[in-house]
């Protein structure tokens, strides 16, 4: 979708990690045009609510995964998620309030007064409606804390896109028997397209089990060192609540970091295979990541 551009003269000004080339290119993107492109190219329903910054980020991230799939034959060719902008006050589940974005695994109601959304839909917070706001949020969640794995303004968009891709892989492997009619038509009901290591458990149940996996203190230390505190699972003192720290967040944070590390700062396209590390990855962490990616229960 790199050819989608219009004469859009919105006054967007920002700094800290966003190059002049990115600034120049971003103002050419129009949310309605990107919505049309997602629909015509992928059959995806995107409603950005004229949030041009979010639309731009999604268009770029879609291009990134398309490029990685075709250039390096990486398993990232899942159908892009349906996308919707939300306001915190419209959420039925306030646990997602304040977040930049989240992705749902199965079909469910998400917003007040709205119908049930398709499985693997992506939701983006409407209060982040400029690239400066998106960039500042990414900086705040990285600098001084390493809460996220990168401070790149595309961090959350790549991260949530990976959730969508990971769910697609697991449904293909373990089957899908959830509530979404679109997903039921796309995947086999129980056994997956590939070898299913546990044919008596549905994909939805299997994913629920993965969400409940707890890493050991030693594993958390490795994950925090290699990726991020969020991937490792950190307790928020004010809420007395641990967030992150399951296989899905390990995968999303790891893939995001690897992709960001190989992006050209001006074109925002990968310059090499992000997964060619030539043995540089920590062996313990590599095992943790592989088990998470392939859905091996036990971590």
- 155 near 96, Cβ under 8 Å? no
User: Is 78:135 a contact under the CB 8 Å cutoff?
Assistant: no
Q: Which residue has the higher pLDDT, 298 or 133?
A: 133
What number is the average pLDDT over the span 234-242?
55
Residue range 35-61: mean pLDDT, rounded = 96
Q: Which tens digit of pLDDT belongs to each residue from 278-291?
A: 667 789 999 999 99
Average pLDDT of the residues in 133-137: 88
Ramachandran class of 183: left when φ > 0, alpha when ψ lies in -120 to 50, beta otherwise: alpha
Tell me which of 178 and 195 has the higher pLDDT: 178
The reply to whether the predicted model has a pTM over 0.85 is yes
Q: For residue 76, give the nearest of 232, 250, 259, 204 by alpha carbon.
A: 259
pLDDT score for 254: 96
250 pLDDT more than 50: yes
Cβ-based burial of 55 (10 A; exposed 0-12, middle 13-18, buried ≥19): buried
Q: In whole angstroms, what separates CA 226 from the centre of its chain? A: 19
CA 254 to chain centre: 11
Query: Looking at the predicted structure, is the pLDDT value of residue 272 above 70?
Result: yes
State residue 278's pLDDT score. Answer: 61
How does 158-171 read in b/e, with b if 16+ C-beta sit within 10 Å? bbbbbbbbbbbbbb
Return the percentage of the chain with pLDDT > 70, whole number. 85
**32-36 mean pLDDT:** 96
Q: How far apart are CA 65 and CA 222, in angstroms?
A: 27
What is the tens place of the pLDDT at every residue in 105-121?
999 999 999 999 999 99
Residue 195 has pLDDT above 90, yes or no: no
- Give the position of tokens 């992705």: 103
CA distances from 79 to 83, 131, 169, 182 (A): 12, 25, 11, 12
Q: How confident is the model at residue 242 (pLDDT cuts 50, 70, 90)?
A: low
**Is 56's pLDDT higher than 70?**
yes
CB of 273 closer than 8 Å to CB of 266: no
240 or 263, higher pLDDT: 263
From CA 288, how far away is CA 296, in angstroms rounded? 10
Per-residue pLDDT at 8: 35
Place of tokens 């980020």: 57
pLDDT > 90 fraction of the chain, expressed in percent and rounded: 58
Q: Mind listing the pLDDT tens digit for each residue in 156-175?
A: 999 999 999 999 998 888 88
The answer to whether 7 touches 52, Cβ cutoff 8 Å, is no
């Amino acid at each position: 979708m790199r050819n989608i551009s219009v004469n859009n003269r919105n006054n967007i000004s920002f700094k800290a990690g966003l190059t002049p080339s990115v600034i120049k290119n971003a103002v050419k993107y129009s949310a309605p045009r990107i919505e049309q492109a997602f629909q015509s190219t992928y059959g995806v329903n995107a409603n950005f609510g004229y949030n041009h910054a979010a639309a731009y980020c999604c268009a770029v991230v879609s291009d990134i995964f398309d490029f990685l799939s075709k250039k390096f034959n990486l398993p990232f060719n899942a159908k892009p998620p349906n996308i919707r902008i939300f306001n915190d006050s419209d959420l039925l589940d306030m646990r997602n309030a304040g977040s930049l974005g989240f992705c749902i695994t199965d079909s469910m109601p998400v917003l007040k007064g709205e119908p049930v959304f398709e499985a693997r839909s992506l939701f983006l917070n409407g209060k982040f409606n400029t690239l400066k706001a998106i960039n500042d949020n990414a900086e705040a969640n990285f600098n001084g804390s390493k809460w996220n794995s990168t401070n790149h303004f595309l961090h959350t968009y790549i991260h949530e896109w990976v959730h969508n891709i990971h769910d697609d892989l697991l449904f293909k492997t373990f089957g899908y028997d959830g509530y979404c009619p679109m997903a039921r038509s796309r995947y086999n009901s129980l056994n997956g397209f590939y070898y299913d290591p546990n044919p008596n458990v549905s994909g939805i149940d299997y994913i629920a089990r993965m969400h409940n996996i707890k890493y050991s203190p030693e594993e958390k230390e490795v994950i925090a060192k290699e990726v991020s505190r969020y991937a490792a699972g950190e307790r928020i003192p004010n809420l007395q609540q641990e967030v992150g720290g399951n296989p899905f967040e390990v995968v999303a944070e790891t893939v995001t970091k690897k992709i960001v590390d190989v992006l050209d700062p001006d074109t925002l396209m990968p310059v090499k295979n992000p997964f060619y590390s030539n043995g540089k990855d920590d062996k313990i962490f590599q095992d943790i990541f592989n088990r998470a990616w392939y859905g091996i229960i036990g971590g």
